[in-house]
Structure 1
């Protein structure tokens, strides 16, 4: 049953989340305050005759989803200022134009979203909620369609300006999630220690080529990916360990990446003074390649497979080192 559940979780993309409770609350509070701020300021602008609104629409519904990205995933490529701004405005223009040219049929609704996606791709401003903005214009009814292109100014542009400013200020209170992502990247870059000489050094160009070969939109900036891999390489260089012995109850990793990565626990083992051909261990795969599989092999074979011992800490597997305080 467990292998089936593991496969099902992988299939639907359900993964563990090591985000702290504090960060979850910070994200939720930021999203809540940002939408309240948008509605409050837009209402002030209209009631004070600073902006003229022929409709009661002050907040674009898709801004709620944009708030999720800006405050829960502030460093994602889909959350950056150009993606948010270009995605909403461009998609709004596409939606209004489609409605004026072809009406509000279901075919036009699909056409508006499709054209918005294509336009966002070519202008490098992919933002999922842009599609929602384009769709809203077509199917939103007279309250929205009667506004025509004025809908782009209020509420769309006003909403964008307010939520982006609020995101910069709010996320700026926490140095680990400053927005835009480039601000955090600059801080991380200055904090990175000088790497030791390597025979083969991965470059930013390597990342760009790999992402292009993948031919799929990845919600991470090249800078963020470079930071993550550089920190991982430095961590590996500082903490290279190998299991001195293979013991029952201990958990080991093969240290590989991607689909080859695997975590195994020794369920039982022969006495350490056993003859070589009888010195066997029984292990269970806890995570990664072959998850939940139980097998038996020689201790020497397992030792050759294992790179280091690990323990589980805050839902993540981490190396066990001699000075580990975990």
Structure 2
């Protein structure tokens, strides 16, 4: 083999860089430590350290890698670990009982376990080791028979899964990694988007000859984010000052909720920035905030009127507003607004003067769409004026 060809072949063996912050890597390591320790403790507490039941089976270490290091993988979801381990343990015990020679039983057990996991949609790579353990685990494991499926496999799988769910919840990580709200292709309220559709993605995935270790919903979200990033990169010329609504109506924290509601109704707007005497933004109040405040005020006045008590004060904007509020500068490119509206659910973002930090305007989704529509025409209009 020529040296250049050999070098290229060896270069393909190099591992790709891990695009994960060190903080997340440490979180995964600590989670695996806690998960395995908890699983061993539960096994020892419920079954004791004596007898034929192992304190830990080796496949649990591989399951911990998936559950804590790559929890977004479809192979790491609850049904994958529980279903995959149970069905593989059952297949392994059956092969060990029916086939006397372990050299023959082992490959049959692993192959049959993979087939069963595909049928039951619970593919979990460590489960192949579970089937192998049932065959090659020695006299202690063989003596358990089908009890091996429940003790230790079911018990340890449930303990490790429970530890993973609690740990991810405590550390603010999404697990189980179910479909994101609105990501389903059957969502009737989903807005049409440019570029590919979910049907296109499904058609491409069906043509793949290999199982991809990523959920279709996550793959779609990743491609959508890439599409937005690529699209937004071309919108650095227009800033918030070019698209924002000016002469924005603002209220103070002492404004009564009913007054603020009347302002929204009269001007046909959906949100009001809340400012102090220096016109610095201290919060934002929406129709939803004021709607709940109006109901509270109505019930409070009715209760005091019925029972003859002194009339209670109506709620003020300061008690209903959202704070802290997300703001941008007049010099912020509209490309930076795309993820705020697309990923974080903002509908109204106050714009501050880049010098005085006073309220200068408001950017809404309509403003952003208008700016995105207008930007591609700006170079063409500029060339026409120059001609």
TM-score (norm 1): 0.65
Cα shift at 1:241:
6.7
Aligned twin of 1:214:
208
Aligned twin of 1:226:
220
Aligned twin of 1:166:
163
Is the Cα contact below 8 Å between 1:58 and 1:154 reproduced in 2? Answer: no
Query: 1:81 & 1:322 partners in 2: Cα distance?
Result: 41
Cα shift at 1:36:
0.7
Cα shift at 1:201:
3.9
| 1:197 to 1:125, Cα distance in 2 relative to 1, 3 A | closer
Query: 1:22 & 1:2 partners in 2: Cα distance?
Result: 39
Structure number with greater Rg is 2
Q: Tell me, which stretches of 5 or more residues in structure 1 are unaligned?
A: 243-320
Query: 1:16 & 1:188 partners in 2: Cα distance?
Result: 28
SS at match of 2:121: coil
Aligned twin of 1:182:
178
Query: 1:153 & 1:197 partners in 2: Cα distance?
Result: 48
Cα shift at 1:33:
1.1
SS at match of 2:54: coil
Is 1:239 matched with 2:233?
Answer: yes
1:202 to 190, 197, 211: 197
Is the Cα contact below 8 Å between 1:54 and 1:147 reproduced in 2? Answer: no
Aligned twin of 1:23:
24
Is the Cα contact below 8 Å between 1:104 and 1:139 reproduced in 2? Answer: no
Is the Cα contact below 8 Å between 2:53 and 2:141 reproduced in 1? Answer: no
Cα shift at 1:187:
9.8
Cα shift at 1:56:
3.7
1:52-131 correspondence to structure 2 within 5 Å: 54-131=51-128
Cα shift at 1:105:
2.2
Cα shift at 1:4:
6.0
1:8 to 10, 17, 20: 10
Q: Tell me, which stretches of 5 or more residues in structure 2 are unaligned?
A: 237-332, 337-387
SS at match of 1:180: coil
RMSD, aligned α-carbons: 3.0
| 1:156 to 1:187, Cα distance in 2 relative to 1, 3 A | farther
Query: 2:170 & 2:7 partners in 1: Cα distance?
Result: 40
Query: 1:152 & 1:195 partners in 2: Cα distance?
Result: 44
Query: 1:5 & 1:171 partners in 2: Cα distance?
Result: 42
| 1:40 to 1:211, Cα distance in 2 relative to 1, 3 A | same
Is the Cα contact below 8 Å between 1:91 and 1:116 reproduced in 2? Answer: yes
Is the Cα contact below 8 Å between 1:120 and 1:126 reproduced in 2? Answer: yes
| CA displacement, residues 162-190 of structure 1 (integer Å, 9 cap, x when unaligned) | 11111111112333x3211117x34999x
